Structure formats: C-alpha cells, structure tokens
Amino acid sequence: MNIETRKLTLEDYDDLKESMLQAYDTLGGQIWSKATIAKLLSLFPEGQLCIAVDNKVVACSLSIIVDYDEYGDKHTYKLITGEYTFSTHDPNGDTLYGIEIFVSPEYRGLRLGRRLYEARKELCETLNLKSIVAGGRIPGYHAHAATMSPREYIDKVKAKELYDPTLTFQISNDFHVRKVLKNYLPGDHESKDFATLIEWNNIYYQGIDASARSAKTIRIGLVQWQMRLFPDMETFYEQVEFFVDAVSGYKSDFLLFPELFNTPLLQPYNHLPEMEAMRKLAELTEEIVLKLHEYAVSYNVNIITGSMPILDNGKLYNATYLCHRTGKTDEYRKIHITPNEQKYYGMVGGDKIQAFDTDCGKVGILICYDVEFPELSRILANQGMQILFVPFLTDTQNGYTRVRHCAQARAIENECYVAIAGCVGNLPKVNNMDIQFAQSAVFTPSDFAFPTNAVKAETTPNTEMMLVVDVDLHLLDELHHFGTVKILKDRRKDLYEVKLLK
C-alpha cells in the first residue's frame, strides 16, 4: 500500500467521483461536478488536496480563502460559497475556509481524515492565514434531538459522554466550536439542519510571518521499552500499539523502538540452545514487521522497528525496518556484530549502508554496536543524512556508556541529530537476556543554536517511558554554513577520505 497526500488535479476526477458516491450515500448521492472541481482548481489549486492510495484518490479536502469579517458567524454555506460559484474566494483574505472534506468509507480505518486536516493546517501556516473555519455536520444529533438541544448535544460530545462521527473527529484534531448554525446546509436530515461552526487558530499568525518561519521542525518519539514476559502475541501487540498510539497522539513524525525489543518472545524456546531459540524467534519477524507497517500507515507515523532477527539463506541477521507512513518499507541489517551475538546466536553482519529518503528528509539507521564505528555515520552524512536513529540493547552501564558517547560524537562530527532508544529491566526466564540498562536520548551538534551539553532531551535511566522531542533541521543548515566550526566543510579531502568499497 502506498499512501500519498498531494494536490488534487482534474485528471483525478473519475477516482474522486467514485469515492464521493460512496461517501455521500447518506446524503442522497449528491456529488461535485467536474466543472465545479475545475473551477476550484483554477481559483485556488493549492487549496484542493487529496490522498491517493496506490495512485487512486480515496479522500479529498476542498478549501477557499475568504475575508471572514465580510460574512461573520451567521453565514450559510450558500452565502460563504457565493451560491456555489466560489466568487467569495479572496487570495488576500485572512481565513482558510473548508468547503468539503471526505474519506471513502472503504478507507476510513486508515485515519486519512487526520492527514487531510494536518495538510490544511500546514497550508494555513504557510499562507500566513489566521485560522481555518468550516461548517461541520453533527450526523449523530438526530438520535437525540427529541431530548436535547443542539448545544446540549455538542456539550456532551465535547465531554465525551456521546460520540458523533464528525464532531468527535474534529475536536480530536484541535478544532473548537464557535457557535451553532441553523439551516447551514438544508437537507442534512441527520443533523436536523443544524451545524457547528468550527475553527482552528494558527498560533503563528500574530506577529510572525509564517511564510518565513522554519518549516523543518521534525517531531521524534522514542520508546524506552520495559522487558517483560508476554503470555501471547496479542498481548505483545497491545503493548506495541499503546506506544504507537501515544506517540502518534503527539503528532510525531518518527517513532523509534529499541534493538531486539521483541526478545521476551524467546521465553517459550528457553529449553533450546540460544542459537536455535533465536532462529525460532526469527520466524516471527515477518509477522511483526507487517503489524508495525499497518500501525505506521494507520497512525500516520514513520516507525523504526527497533531490530529483530531474520533468516536469509540460512544466515541469521540482526535487522531493523523503516516502516514509512506512506506504506513503503526499507530494511537495514546490522553491520558490526558483537562477540556475544556471534558466540551465542551465530549472527552475521550485513553489507549495505544507505541513507533513506522520508517525507521528513534523509535519515540513517545504525544498530547499537554500529554507532561505535565512525566511518558508517560519515558515509551516511555524505549521502545527506540529517537524523541518525540508533536502536540499542546494552546489559551493563559501561556498555551503555560506549553507545551514548559514540552517539554524541556522531552528532557533533556529522552535524546531525542522533536519537538512541534502548530496553530496560530484566528477563529472568530468557537465556542471555537477563538484564538491560538504558537511558534513551536525542543528541545535537555542539554550537550556540543547540543545548550547551549537546543533549536535546533524555529519559530517566532504567524506567519504561517515552520521550517526544522536536528537532529543527533548519538549524543544521545554518550550522553547516555559519557555525563556529564547520566540520564537514573543513575536512582535508586532499589528505584523506572515507568511502564505500562496494
């Protein structure tokens, strides 16, 4: 599955029409004509957004810009759209007005509506508009109209005493209700001809030129995973999804799990030699990666899956996967295998070093011991990496110290951010996985724009928790060109070089 949020085009109309017919079934099947879509695209092309799944448009968001004071809070849909001609669109207006948003019913479990709202918010900020306003249906109201007013119904939905498929979703996406509208959209019998006037405020509008504001702030979520035994796979997935849901709730762009975080699942094989047990665990990897891939898409967050053992042509590797929220998956195999991994599990190292393109720029992944070899991260930096993710697993504090200090060095010498996430706790019933020590963190370069200790944030040691951190890629650009020292630029390429041999 490939998911793409992009501008709508007229060539998308056939797919759009099919999705509209499905989405508008309860409203009598009324749909937007091709001529109307063409007019919106000619007036305000950047305001017409869609989501394509495997190149088929299945969700859409339509908008115009208005000078809101001309219409006020008592307007109708007919008035705000200029009797559906969109003559009210004003490129010099101050408000992004949502005139439509829908998701095909077949795809509503993927949280595509949230992606459209996030795209609208980004557009609002980019255009330096003060807010997003729209009239929202309350399709659940008809079931309660005999016993409560629209305001009472809305208050109960806001208090989560009632669920409304439209209003609950809008509130969860940071919109608030300005007022109740009567006869906003005549014929909406489910809403009993009522609607909510909803608004999202652009906090960057006042005093800040949003067009000049850095649009490169990336939010990273780290999971410091508590090792515990799981009675079955369902319980394991529940714990994984808990963290995915929590980090996604903070609108994170990336989520990092630790190295070999699934080794509690070794417990049923504890009667086997360690090498055989790890190979049995490898049989679960494909299933686990598929589940994390589903979470990445449905929760709209790029997931670095920690690491897991995989078997390939009889050889055992320690691999991690980058599950993109667009549906793509990349793989990286740990290159430097520790003596412990070789001795007890018979693991071998991978042989591919590659920076990965994501919707948030280029990132690299190194697994634990790999970060102690500076050549790898330098090669990734040469490929354009801006964030390095390091899932790790260390049993003792001195092992952790090696990973931490090397990761900090990699951030400074490569002018990038480095995020590390590890496991904590004990596994007394799993051979060779008895104890773990970790303090997960995000490290930065060392210059005036960054924390004086080059640590953006870190967790409490040896405690299960998650860490959510914002990093600004724009600061890396400034460091590269105007830093106190310019490490990447000042290398003596006439004297030495680091390069791949294959």
CB 368 within 8 A of CB 393: yes
Nearest C-alpha neighbor of 68 from the set 58, 79, 59: 79
In DSSP terms, 465 is beta-bridged to 224
334 a catalytic residue: yes
CA atoms within 13 A on the CB side of 118: 18
Q: Would you tell me the crossing angle of helices 374-382 and 397-413 to the nearest 10 degrees?
A: 30
Q: Out of 125, 199, 259, 415, which one is annotated catalytic?
A: 259
CA distance 257 to 244: 10
Give the single-character DSSP code of 199.
E
Nearest C-alpha neighbor of 180 from the set 144, 148, 149: 149
What are the residues whose beta carbons fall under 8 Å from the beta carbon of 451, sequence distance 6 or more? 444
Q: Out of 50, 124, 360, 368, which one is annotated catalytic?
A: 368
Q: Out of 328, 334, 362, 456, which one is annotated catalytic?
A: 334
Task: Report in angstroms the alpha-carbon separations of 143 from 23, 139, 152, 182, 286.
Answer: 20, 9, 13, 18, 45
368 a catalytic residue: yes
The label of the residue with tokens 């007022």 reads 179
CA distance 265 to 262: 6
CA distance 409 to 498: 17
Task: Report in angstroms the alpha-carbon separations of 386 from 211, 457, 480.
Answer: 23, 17, 11
Taken in order 400, 405, 411, 417, the sign of the CA dihedral is: positive
- Three-class SS state of 442: strand
499 a catalytic residue: no
Q: In which element (H, E) is residue 311 found?
A: strand 308-312
Q: Catalytic residues, which ones?
A: 259, 334, 368
